[in-house]
Structure 1
Amino acid sequence: MENILEVNDLKVSFNTFAGEVQAVRGVNFHVKKGETLAIVGESGSGKSVTTQSIMRLIPMPPGEIKGGEILFEGTDLVKKSDKQMEKVRGKDIAMIFQDPMTSLNPTMKIGRQIMESMIKHRKIAKTDAKKRAIELLDLVGIPKPEQRVDQYPHEFSGGMRQRAMIAVALASDPKLLIADEPTTALDVTIQAQILELLKDIQKKTNTSIIFITHDLGVVANVADRVAVMYGGKIVETGSVDEVFYNPQHPYTWGLLASMPSLDAEEGELQAIPGSPPDLTNPPKGDAFAARNSYAMKVDFEMEPPMFKVSDTHYAATWLLHEDAPKVEPPAVVRKRIEHFKEKAGER
């Protein structure tokens, strides 16, 4: 299966009063046609900056793409002008944002907001665009779409607004859909419905999806592959099964351990100690070393390369070096892995 998107050595910085914030520091990943890649990590790890750079939505200044390339169907988006990017946004690549209330226009009817992209990019007549808007509202599970199409965002519930946002994103049949924490502001029941909806839409349309989240629990249900980000870099990448059943990076262990679980015993919930690094002055060596209880001397001196675990699984940790001591994930992580395997067996 060929790649629809390739991001190579992407570097993005922001010039601030405190100095240059190196938000993305040499990120590499790809997305194949029809697959879902989940990018996971704590707030401040560089997930949203990376994907907003793909859409070229980073405000410049203060932001700046300092290096690398973003190849979409073989064309480097970094080299495109703002005018050229207007033809890509919405038509080829669309984005679902975290909070629909700040993304939808409160003064425009929902149907009009869905129709806009179709009229602009696909030159569809208004009557046909409205018919398609009703179909899209139906596709995303909004009841009575013929009536809802003429309503305003404030007349929709939170879950329905997020569904409407997905309909807006799908309006021009994009080849790549970027979902930036689309379920964070929703309750657990609606969250599950939105995730099922995205999976269903992907089956029907074969759209590629980049799914950004800080919640590893969400990832297991929606993604084909996972990229774990920390300190502006990808520290582990692999298939969902590889990252969940055989995690290699201590940061991935920390994320798995800190996941809430109904099976956890009282007081068992873990947290990763410390705080993410200051990217105005990135640490020497492994950015996670100061928070890593397994850190060795080399972690504070040299940045680890991406070690190969399998043909599709890589992790940037010195623990994978042949001379490193053999370290097992902590007990709580091993327990989580067994839990995931049991759940997978039930499915």
Structure 2
Amino acid sequence: MEKILEVKDLHISFHTFGGEVQAIRGVNFDLYKGETLAIVGESGSGKSVTTKSIMRLLPESNSEIKAGEILFDDKNLAQLNNKAMQKIRGKDISMIFQDPMTSLNPTMKIGKQIMEPIVKHQNLSKSAAKDRAIDLLRLVGIPQPEARFNQYPHQFSGGMRQRVVIAIALACNPKVLIADEPTTALDVTIQAQILELMKDLQKKIDTSIIFITHDLGVVANVADRVAVMYGGKIVEIGTVDEVFYNPQHPYTWGLISSMPNLESDDIELYAIPGTPPDLLNPPAGDAFAARNEFAMKIDHEKQPPMYKVSDTHYAATWLLHPDAPKVEPPEAVKRRRRKFPENKEGK
């Protein structure tokens, strides 16, 4: 598969009154043409910071890319200045944000907002850009696009506003589309419609998607591969089947165990004990060690390397060391394996 984007050993810090927050601590991943990579994890795990750094949207006043590379189209985005990034944002890499109301200008008509990146990046006339904008409204499922073109954001429902945001993001047929929890602000029914829309659009325009979410149920429906983040690092990465049915990291076990299961007799949902680490003073060992009931002495002393589970599946846990004790995952994880035995090995 053709590699579109490559993030190598990325380190990002924020300089605050309390000290240096080491928000991203050595993140590595690749994105391939036409695939959807989901990045999952609790709030504060580094999902949005990682993807905003790709767009170079982090505040320059207090953030710093301390090390690493973001390789795209033979360029290291981490080293480009703002003027160079303006030629890439919206054209080659676009982003859909969480709340469509704050993503749209309430004083500007919808059509003009969609036309803006088309005119800037594709050098089309206003007439051609208008036709393209109306086509995009039709593509994302907005009825009567010619009439809607001249309306304002407040005249659209939440789901329709998110469709408009998607239309803006797709205006220049980007190679990479970053979706930062695009359904969080929507109700469940509209969420399903937006997710279905994104899957359909990906087939039509052949773009690569990075999908950020904390909802594993969403991941199962949209992603090809999954990267699990914790404490500013990727702790497990693999195909959807590998991560869902053969998870290796105790944090992934916890996330899967906390998912509601209609067939379970459990009265209470599992909750991962404790809180995420303080990245002002990151732990010396595995960041999850303090919350991990299976933690060994080495977990508190040294960060685990990424162990290879298969050609596409890797996990950073000392439990995969040849000398580690054999540990059984929680019952919720084993139930999932029993229900889908053919996926046990990530097939």
Give the partner amino acid of 2:76. D
Superposed displacement of residue 340, structure 1: 6.1
1:139 maps to 139
Alpha-carbon distance in structure 1 between the residues aligned to 2:341 and 2:280: 40
Alpha-carbon distance in structure 1 between the residues aligned to 2:267 and 2:15: 42
Alpha-carbon distance in structure 1 between the residues aligned to 2:189 and 2:338: 25
Give the partner amino acid of 1:220. A
1:107 maps to 107
Q: List per-residue Cα deviations over 1:40-86 (Å, max 9, x = no partner).
A: 00000000000000000001121111110000122101111100000
The answer on whether the counterparts of 1:3 and 1:73 sit within 8 Å (CA) in structure 2 is no
1:87 maps to 87
Match of 1:304, SS? coil
1:222 maps to 222
Give the partner amino acid of 1:296. M
Alpha-carbon distance in structure 2 between the residues aligned to 1:181 and 1:272: 22
Q: List per-residue Cα deviations over 1:178-211 (Å, max 9, x = no partner).
A: 0000011111111111111111011011100000
The answer on whether the counterparts of 1:114 and 1:171 sit within 8 Å (CA) in structure 2 is yes
1:321 maps to 321
Give the partner amino acid of 1:244. F
2:206 maps to 206
2:279 maps to 279
TM-score where L is the length of structure 1: 0.97
Superposed displacement of residue 216, structure 1: 0.8
1:35 maps to 35
Give the partner amino acid of 1:203. K
Compared CA separation, residues 339 and 147, structure 1 to 2 (3 A): farther
1:263 maps to 263
Alpha-carbon distance in structure 2 between the residues aligned to 1:90 and 1:335: 43
Superposed displacement of residue 336, structure 1: 3.5
Superposed displacement of residue 14, structure 1: 0.3
Alpha-carbon distance in structure 2 between the residues aligned to 1:20 and 1:267: 42
Alpha-carbon distance in structure 2 between the residues aligned to 1:180 and 1:229: 14
Match of 2:98, SS? coil
The answer on whether the counterparts of 2:245 and 2:333 sit within 8 Å (CA) in structure 1 is no
2:310 maps to 310
1:154 maps to 154
Q: List per-residue Cα deviations over 1:112-159 (Å, max 9, x = no partner).
A: 100000000001111111111111111111111111111100000000
Alpha-carbon distance in structure 1 between the residues aligned to 2:196 and 2:247: 25
% identical aligned pairs: 74
1:16 maps to 16
Q: List per-residue Cα deviations over 1:269-322 (Å, max 9, x = no partner).
A: 111110000000001100000000010111001110000000110000000000
Alpha-carbon distance in structure 2 between the residues aligned to 1:20 and 1:73: 32
Give the partner amino acid of 1:316. A
Alpha-carbon distance in structure 1 between the residues aligned to 2:264 and 2:126: 54
1:289 maps to 289
Figure out how many residues of one structure are paired with residues of the other and give that number.
344
1:77 maps to 77
The answer on whether the counterparts of 1:257 and 1:336 sit within 8 Å (CA) in structure 2 is no
Give the partner amino acid of 2:254. G
The answer on whether the counterparts of 1:24 and 1:50 sit within 8 Å (CA) in structure 2 is yes
173-182 vs 144-153, greater mean Cα deviation: 144-153
Alpha-carbon distance in structure 1 between the residues aligned to 2:74 and 2:240: 26
Give the partner amino acid of 2:29. F
**RMSD of equivalent CA atoms:** 1.4
1:47 maps to 47
Give the partner amino acid of 1:68. G
Compared CA separation, residues 342 and 147, structure 1 to 2 (3 A): farther
Give the partner amino acid of 2:304. P
Q: Does 1:236 align with 2:239?
A: no
Q: Does 1:330 align with 2:330?
A: yes
Give the partner amino acid of 1:11. H
